[in-house]
A and B are shown apart, each in its own frame.
Chain A
Amino acid sequence: MPLLLAVVIGGLYATALYLILRRSIVKLLIGLALLTNAANLLIFTSAGLTRATAPIVPLGSDRPPAPFADPLAQAMILTAIVIGFGVLAFMVVLVHRAVQAVGTDDLDDLKATDT
């Protein structure tokens, strides 16, 4: 399974980065969204996979039955998902405003602020 997921994660990173390298600002956006997902899946995979129970203590027990999935990795991913969502929302609107301001979605037209 790690092999499969490694391939999947690698593929996600590759596609995300490919999209980020496009000239179309909208593709850039989709690439960023994919990249967040890819990073989350990477954390999930490298923290170790157990086809096991969720890290939830059954009622009446005081610890989850072993083996259980790593809860800390999950908490990290949850935090990362939320952060990613907030940032993506901002980016979406920023892109929207950029297209409005410049009148094109071609990133090559956005270079007035450099030299």
Chain B
Amino acid sequence: MNLFLLGTLLVPLLTGIACLLAWRRRTTQRGLGLAGATAHFGATLGLLWTVASDGIQTAQIGAWPAPFGITIVADLFSAIMAVVAGMMGLAVTVYSLGSMDARREEYGYYPLFHVLLLGVSGAFLAGDIFNLYVWFEVMLIASFALLVLGGERAQIEGAIKYVTLNLISSAFFLTAVGILYGMTGTLNMADLARALSRTAAPGLVTTVGLLFLVAFGIKAATFPLFFWLPASYHTPPVATSAIFAGLLTKVGVYALIRVFTLLFVQDPGFIHTLILVIAGLTMATGVLGAVAQNEFRRILAFHIVSQIGYMIMGLGLFTPLGLAGSIFYITHHIIVKTNLFLISGIAYRLRGTYVLKDLGGLYRTQPALALLFLVPAFSLAGVPPLSGFAAKLSLVQAGLAGQQYAVVATALAVGLLTLFSMTKIWAEAFWKGDTGESAATPRPGSAAGVRPRGLTSMFMPVVVLAAVTVAIGLAAQPLFTLTWRAAEQLLDPTAYINAVLGSPR
């Protein structure tokens, strides 16, 4: 049994429990949270290393053989996702140490955070469709609680929509799982793949696939199912926004990629083309939504939607290059988008607002922050040679190879609009001079010259993530090799199925 595989699940679980046992003891929880996040990141790195060198890792929970017991399984795609999740967990934890207020820390922030990580990691490792549902719910309920933690009116309002629409998604998911189980009598995904490949009712399989498409489409925030995201992501404390932005929708994307490469591959001419159309529309509507915004975090939130379009574009293309591009894109996006939210939080800490009109002068007073903003912002827009460029380039190349010119053109045009909206933030928050109003509601201690508390631990993850962005942009090849291998695994699931079920005689 691979301890890294287990650790990826167990560490956040045990950390969550430990934090829960230290209920209302703030300092202890901070220490536990940091230690747990570090250990989790370590475990995920170990997992990726093992998967990359030794191949797909599986474990049968309770020692019950597949397909009877629950399988947890890590192929390269899972492992990559887990590593990025671990990295974000650690980065946001460090950031939280500086940014989270004492009351929230006391009232369950750390336990909830680690339950969230548990849910996310579980979803990445689930080899069983119902188990995936359970992890989704774990992640969701933790995100619900984190979203409302603090109980401000905007949080509550945003949460109503977030919760309702996600529950609808869960209902679709559960419905689809029920029907799938009814049809096949199994839940293990590898076993399902075998069963569905010789199904007598391909039309029904397609129908169920569409149900999954809607369920995960909502989670992933694709067009026209994304409404919960822009309604809520800008409402909680920024560390929470950041971890949401980095991880939650990506679990939806992960699930889409997983089921539409492993399970529902009988009718790619229909389903994958549909996904491609959705991808294009998602990119376009998301970026237009962002263009209409004038608030730092709202712009970022709409961009998440837009970027989801790129992530599923590779799935729609359904080629190794496309999928590799998608996985690369997800990785890049998680790092970059989390970082942008973290930076918006620093700007807020310094200026007391997220409204662009009231921000300004950060370029003059905070040149380091300005530089740090530019890295993820340009990367998001796909400016070379940052990580986003390699990501976009691979998708564009895959699209051209598949002669999907419309979606390629959309992707490139949306990239330009993304750049437009990043420069809007740049021009308003950084370039523009101090506005008179911006000092209207300064944070306590943010008066000129005084560095507010906690800024160091807020800056630290931002610097590291920016460095990573630059690094995987300049040296994209190693990561790309990895995502390429991951994509090949996805497109030929035999290895996955055999790793779980053993080779067929």
The answer to whether A and B touch in the complex, with CB atoms under 8 Å apart, is yes
A positions within 8 Å CB-CB of B: 20, 25, 28, 32, 35-36, 39, 42-43, 45-48, 72-73, 76, 79-80, 83, 86-87, 90-91, 94-95, 97-98, 101-102, 107, 110-115
Partner of B158, one of A79, A80, A113: A113
Q: Tell me if A94 and B148 are in contact (CB < 8 A).
A: yes
Q: Tell me if B178 and A83 are in contact (CB < 8 A).
A: no
Tell me the dominant secondary structure on chain B's binding face: helix
Q: A32-B164, A113-B158, A114-B230 are in contact. Are A48 and B235 (CB under 8 A)?
A: no
The minimal Cβ–Cβ distance linking B231 to chain A, given in whole angstroms, is 5
Residues of B within 8 A of A110 (CB): 157, 160-161
Q: Tell me if A46 and B179 are in contact (CB < 8 A).
A: yes
Q: Tell me if B231 and A113 are in contact (CB < 8 A).
A: yes
Q: A32-B167, A72-B187, A97-B151 are in contact. Are A39 and B174 (CB under 8 A)?
A: yes
Residues of A within 8 A of B182 (CB): 43, 45-48
Q: A39-B171, A47-B178 are in contact. Are A90 and B160 (CB under 8 A)?
A: no
Q: Tell me if B160 and A76 are in contact (CB < 8 A).
A: no
Q: Tell me if B181 and A47 are in contact (CB < 8 A).
A: yes
User: Max chain B CB contacts within 10 Å: which of A48, A73, A76?
Assistant: A76
One digit per residue, 1 when the CB lies within 8 angstroms of any chain A CB and 0 when it does not, for chain B 224-241 equals: 000100111011000000
Partner of B156, one of A28, A32, A36, A98: A98
A-B contact count (CB 8 A): 103
Cβ < 8 Å to A, chain B residues 280-338: 289, 292-293, 298
Other A-B pairs, 12, CB within 8 Å; known A39-B175, A79-B130, A101-B157 = A39-B171, A47-B182, A83-B134, A86-B141, A87-B170, A98-B157, A102-B153, A111-B157, A112-B153, A113-B158, A113-B231, A113-B235
Residues of A within 8 A of B141 (CB): 86-87, 90
Cβ < 8 Å to A, chain B residues 165-185: 167-168, 170-171, 174-175, 177-179, 181-183
Chosen A-B contacts, 28 in total, with CB atoms closer than 8 Å, are: A32-B164, A32-B167, A35-B171, A39-B174, A43-B174, A43-B177, A46-B183, A72-B181, A72-B187, A73-B181, A79-B134, A87-B137, A87-B144, A90-B141, A90-B145, A91-B167, A94-B148, A94-B159, A98-B157, A101-B157, A102-B157, A111-B157, A113-B158, A113-B161, A113-B235, A114-B161, A114-B231, A115-B289
State the CA gap A110–B134 with chains docked (Å): 30
State the CA gap A107–B182 with chains docked (Å): 37
B positions within 8 Å CB-CB of A: 130, 134, 137, 140-141, 144-145, 148, 151, 153-154, 156-161, 163-164, 167-168, 170-171, 174-175, 177-179, 181-183, 187, 227, 230-232, 234-235, 289, 292-293, 298
User: Max chain B CB contacts within 10 Å: which of A36, A107, A114?
Assistant: A114
